[in-house]
Amino acid sequence: MIEALSEALQFTFMRNALMAGMLISIACGIIGTFVVIKRIVFVSGGIAHAAYGGIGLGYFFKFNPVLGAIIFSVTAALGMGAVQRKTHQRADTIIGVMWAIGMAVGIIFVDKTAGYKADLMSYLFGSILAVPSSDLLIMLVLDLIVIALMVLFYKELLAISFDETFATVENVPVDTMYMMLLCMIAFTVVMMMRVVGLIMVIALLTIPAAISGQFVKDMKKMMVLASILGVIFTTTGLWLSYFLNLTSGATIIMVSGAVYLLSLAVKPLLRHPEPEIESASASAG
């Protein structure tokens, strides 16, 4: 077993994969915590799926699809945020429509692109074993952006998550902060796309934070624990998929999901009575 492990580590793709898992887990733990406590799982799902439009755009115009995904997901984030803020009704319907249009745009562009589209599926279902070093660099940069924004605006982000009305009265620029948070989600989603695929991004974004939130009651600790859990899930899932010859993204999600269900079962045994646990990670594409 050990031999097999060290043998696998000889491969660059394996080392890249492990590194990618760690890099996304950091952003995932931080941003996932906000997504779970602010209950914006649905919007996050919309941002993730709309990113596919950018993939198609990248294919069609022959530039890095990851770049296209960043552009599309950030645009979707700002659009969906504006819809939520400006329209009082049917915000979720409009977000659902934008979600679908984003994907449709991607598919049409891909249709119109001539030639063989080898790694198209990897954006949908992830392919952590095929992460090139250039993508690692993009992940690192996005990670640093997410961490920097989090540190700089922690008190405002906490305030708008906990009590937006009070934050407004205290003259916190709540709309700007919320838009920034959605952009951070967009960045995170793009990073994660390579690892678990757009369709399952939401699961990996929410599950570690949801588990973590059951056991710690402090936002910073929740982020740290969620990040650690993310590293454990991606690493475990990666090795399992390697040895069992399974799709890596799906295996990572299975590991995460199993631990989440386990944590739901174990929690009542560990703690004295507390109100029901919210179902934070309900909508995995």
Partner 1 sequence: MRRAETTETPREVISVRHLWAGYENELVLEDINLAVNELDFIGLIGPNGGGKTTLLKVLLGLLPPMRGEVRILDKSIKEGRRYIGYVPQVVQFDRNFPISVWDVAQMGRLGKRRLLQRYTTEDDKVVAEALRQVEMLDLRDRPIGELSGGQRQRAYIARALATEPKILLLDEPTASVDPQVSTSIYELLSRLNEHVTILMISHDMSAISAHVKTVGCLNRQLFYHGEKQITPDMLEAAYHCPIDLIAHGIPHRVFPEHVVEEV
Binding site for partner 1 (CB under 8 A): 33, 37, 152-153, 155-156, 158-159, 161-163, 165-173, 213, 216-219, 221-222, 274-275, 277-278
By C-beta, is 6 or 89 nearer to partner 1?
Answer: 89
DSSP 10-22: TSHHHHHHHHHHH
Residues sharing a CB contact under 8 Å with residue 208, sequence separation 6 or more, in sequence order? 25, 28, 29, 32, 225, 226, 227, 229, 230, 233, 256
> Smallest distance from the beta carbon of 154 to partner 1, in angstroms?
9
Report which of 32, 60, 8 is spatially closest to residue 189, judged by C-alpha positions. 32
Nearer to partner 1, 143 or 156 (CB): 156
Supply the minimum distance, in Å, between the C-beta of residue 281 and partner 1: 14
In this complex, which beta carbon is closest to partner 1, that of residue 38 or of residue 117? 38
- Report, in Å, the least distance between residue 275 CB and partner 1: 5
SS3 assignment, position 193: helix
The nearest distance, CB 283 to partner 1, in angstroms, is 18
Q: How far is the CB of 232 from partner 1 (least distance, A)?
A: 20
Question: Among residues 18 and 149, whose Cβ is nearest to partner 1?
Answer: 149
Long-range Cβ contacts of 107-112 (<8 Å, 24+ apart): 107/52, 107/56, 108/56, 109/53, 109/56, 109/57, 109/59, 109/60, 110/55, 110/56, 110/59, 110/60, 112/60
Choose between 234 and 281: whose C-beta lies nearer to partner 1. 281
